[in-house]
Structure 1
């Protein structure tokens, strides 16, 4: 290695490597800035310095973000591992005082999880650790293991599959689906039976195999009139139509804050599922991450709204 290359390498500090890592993981300048809790110009400036030092473009623009060059693909995994080891070492050596910490914790959950649990979790943390920051993200299942391993997320909540021995799982609770409609619905207030279901038309939210199967088994698939991607659309749809929706029971309380609805269980058609919290086992060595895990699992498992 020549002296010039050695000089350039010596000028690459930890902050620059953290920017490179964040952009590589997020594939997006804006999301990388959020992850690092800095502005986009700071990220762009760091990349400019790195391009000069490494004499490489590093990232190319693509639809929805950026893609790494061959050099970044070569060096980024090693940088990622090294930053993780440094982070773990510093966290293990330190202490965590919730009342004083301004740390950001990241939790991966669906939009239904945000509606059901995020307000309660925020209120709880604001009371006992007022300077903490909480960020909710939605990480695709195929990327979740890597995100938890690298602290892109500290905890994942949801209907999650077994992710292997490197990950710890806490069962939080089981819940069922209930049929929800606007209070003005012609069938609101009636006891919902299998026979009465034939008179309903439905909106489906996202992709929930249990609900799809339930509707298909009852021969109701042709009565699905609307499909939406997010739960945020549900309140106004129910308020302005005669559609009904199957929702996890934990959504009833937050939904009631947005309008007047009726919920009904159909006993013979019950479908239940388990909600779990998952983390990488290594995070137990981080006092702050351990504290956050305990707060989340105890609070949600003990939530009496269900």
Structure 2
């Protein structure tokens, strides 16, 4: 297909349909009628010889071809948008706005205290919100500007996103002080004999830890499974359970909950924690400022940006 054969307005409509998955909000965003959206979609379908979006009770579901086109189309539109709208100055002391970050509950524990303090000092008119980085529509929300940054272990964010690595962190064994394992040299036999708390962190890269333990043939007695990390400190504080967690989370929980941690007896891959932002926001002044604060606060100087 030649570029001269493509109507840029149709690509813009396609981009918004990928983000919204419904005709009505796209019509409102573009300032046209719903029948006009339907007619434009019909033209797109003929041009690509594909349905592109299938109507379901849950909204418009993209076909595999639409998923394939989403990244390149989003990047191209973002490039045009940046060319037509050069970045303006951003005065953090004067601006009033709300910004949204996607992260897990681990991220909220590790990042938010220092980040909120820093932003409150530099930009008192800026408020923060968080959403879960495991959300089904995270990519669409970032493309539409509803989420400014995503932080964590997020292998699903690829085409159309910039990224920078903050640090790599190992996994450790976390338990209460005074636990029978609270002694030097935690062995694999100790780990197997303990009772475990397992966090089922669906939608994040942390699930690979359990897969690695299974592949290594390491059997555990799992006494409790929970869907998030936020309760780990409270649970370990009052039990003899052992949890496998990222080291920085262990550091944050140890003091408040009377916990300690040891080097993990199983060789597990380190987790690369990164910041992601959509190509559309790459030169946005507010986004530049926010991710700059994140880099300054949390980037490991020994880790080259990746």
Please report the TM-score for the alignment, with normalisation by the length of structure 1: 0.67
Cα pair distance change 1:200/1:93, threshold 3 Å? closer
| 1:154 and 2:151 aligned | no
> 1:243 is matched with which residue?
241
* SS at structure 1 position matched to 2:282: helix
CA–CA separation in structure 1 for the residues paired with 2:166 and 2:130? 18
Cα pair distance change 1:275/1:199, threshold 3 Å? same
* SS at structure 2 position matched to 1:263: strand
* Cα RMSD (Å): 3.7
CA–CA separation in structure 2 for the residues paired with 1:173 and 1:205? 22
| 1:179 and 2:179 aligned | no
| Unaligned residue ranges in structure 1 (runs of 5+) | 1-20, 28-46, 48-52, 55-65, 70-80
Query: 1:115-264 alignment to 2 at 5 Å?
Result: 115-140=109-134, 142-161=136-155, 163-207=157-201, 208-217=206-215, 219-264=217-262
| 1:288 and 2:286 aligned | yes
> 1:17 is matched with which residue?
none
CA–CA separation in structure 1 for the residues paired with 2:262 and 2:96? 43
CA–CA separation in structure 1 for the residues paired with 2:257 and 2:159? 44
| Unaligned residue ranges in structure 2 (runs of 5+) | 1-15, 23-27, 35-56, 61-73
Q: How far off its partner does 1:268 sit? A: 5.1
Q: Kindly indicate whether the alpha-carbon contact (under 8 Å) linking 2:87 and 2:283 is maintained by their aligned counterparts in 1.
A: no
Cα pair distance change 1:216/1:128, threshold 3 Å? same
Q: How many residues align?
A: 240
Q: How far off its partner does 1:240 sit? A: 1.5
Q: Kindly indicate whether the alpha-carbon contact (under 8 Å) linking 1:92 and 1:287 is maintained by their aligned counterparts in 2.
A: no
- The partner residue of 2:95 within 98, 101, 118 is 101
Q: How far off its partner does 1:184 sit? A: 3.1
Q: How far off its partner does 1:209 sit? A: 2.9
Q: 1:135-191 CA distances to partner (integer Å, 9 max, x unpaired)?
A: 111143652221111111111111122644421111111110000001132221242
